[in-house]
Amino acid sequence: MKITGCELRRLRLPLVEPFRTSFATQHARELLLLRILTPDAEGWGECVAMSDPLYSAEYSDGAAHVIQHFLLPRLAAAAEVSAAQVAPLLAPVKDHRMAKAAVEMAVLDAELQAAHMPFARYLGAVNDTVPAGVSVGIMDSTDRLLDTVAGYLDAGYLRIKLKIQPGWDVEPVRAVRERFGDDLLLQVDANTAYTLADAPTLAQLDPFGLLLIEQPLAEDDVRGHAQLAQRIRTPLCLDESITSARAAAHALAIGACSIINIKPGRVGGYLEARRIHDVATAMGAPVWCGGMLETGIGRAANVALAALPGFVLPGDTSASARYYAQDITAPFVLSDGHLQVPNAPGLGIEVQPDALEDVTLWRHYINLQSLR
């Protein structure tokens, strides 16, 4: 496939309500889109880096710089490019996985549109719908938390994930479990907010029958997670620590986790995400698809990924209305607790030009011929 041009766009989408985690409170989602042009199709990629380097070292302005000045020139130097070639071509550029994932996603979308093949079929999906969970941010009161969870359950969500941090952990979980009962699929996410010294506190979550505790310790403390797993009964799931299939295999082998959250942007793209799925499945570990407050572009790709056979736990593949009053594509709508997997070629969605323009902060067109 010959790439003739690219466009970078920085967007800002207001959230329907603030979303608070252990590291930040977001009132809007700023993100980066990449559109590539070929003689036969165009493809969209979404970079999930945040505006500030708080979740990871990457941030959207930095990703835009890396894409324009380091990644796209490497694609331009190749006569033709396929999605399978993107990672090897970009490998000399160290890290910057979220930027690389956006490039690979755009190439893959264009490639599959030209081949009239849906994203889900290419990845190996086996399901037409995927069960939807929802992530609930840290609240200013337990009463508000309970009201919020009740609203999501009334909407049909099949699993609740509570964000936690020191001081907002045991009691909120206790309140949710007591209010909604033992049958509720419930898990928590710490986003690296604890240390191994907090093991006694985390062990107090054991009686609540949680599906998992997600990433309690620092990203680089894989050994610490293995030690923590010996001190608590609740299964550990890794998120930020899993950057590749190799990292996943290592974490599972040493007992640092028994479940993996796969975020394609965090691991460098959907092809690496599929490899992590395959490794975890071979090692008997369930996986689920995490979310980064994606637009309909990224949500379409995540839903397709979550339709693979190893994704046996509901992911953070919430309906569009969970985050945005107006998305840039037709919204994903919850139906009986599930989202429909797109089955049209490529990502299977159409970007709505007027909605896109309404949330665009800036855009920049790049002629690949000038980068050669």
Could you tell me what percentage of the chain is helix, strand and coil, using 3-state DSSP and rounding each to the nearest 5? 40, 25, 40
User: What is the rounded CA–CA span in Å between residue 94 and residue 63?
Assistant: 13
User: What is the rounded CA–CA span in Å between residue 299 and residue 342?
Assistant: 10
In the numeric block, the tokens 């092809």 are attached to 271
Cα–Cα distance list, 13 to 64, 324, 340 (Å): 18, 7, 23
Active-site annotation holds for 2: no
User: What is the rounded CA–CA span in Å between residue 17 and residue 361?
Assistant: 21
Active-site choice (2, 94, 161, 163): 163
- Phi and psi (nearest 5°) for 229? -60, -25
Separate counts of helices (H) and strands (E) for the chain? 14, 13
Cα–Cα distance list, 51 to 12, 48, 58, 218, 232 (Å): 10, 9, 9, 21, 35
- Catalytic residues, by residue number, are 163, 263
